[in-house]
Amino acid sequence: MQQLPSYVKAKTAEGLKTLCMQNSIKKDRYFKYQIVFDGKFWFAWYEEDASDSLQADIKAREILDGTNKQ
């Protein structure tokens, strides 16, 4: 299983908290986030399974292709 580093980014800590919750709900799993503040933005880094990410991309393309053909 290959892990890919990913992140969500926000201007505020509260905004980042919301994005982390939305990300976990959207992907139907809880991620262990590493929080970083660079002085301007808040980042929450997490690792995502590469196969899950590829399957989501393929599904999104299939949906997009289906709507473009109609």
Query: How many structural domains is the chain composed of?
Result: 1
What is the average pLDDT value for the chain, to the nearest integer? 86
What is residue 2's predicted lDDT score, i.e. its pLDDT? 82
Q: Is residue 70 predicted with pLDDT exceeding 70?
A: no
Longest Cα–Cα distance of the chain, Å, equals: 47
pLDDT bucket at 39, cuts 50 / 70 / 90: very high
Domain that holds residue 33: 3-69
What is residue 65's predicted lDDT score, i.e. its pLDDT? 76
Per-residue HEC secondary structure of 11-59 comes to: CCHHHHHHHHHHHHHHCCCCCCCEEEECCCCEEEEEEEEHHHHHHHHHH
pTM: 0.68
Q: What is the mean pLDDT of residues 14-29?
A: 95
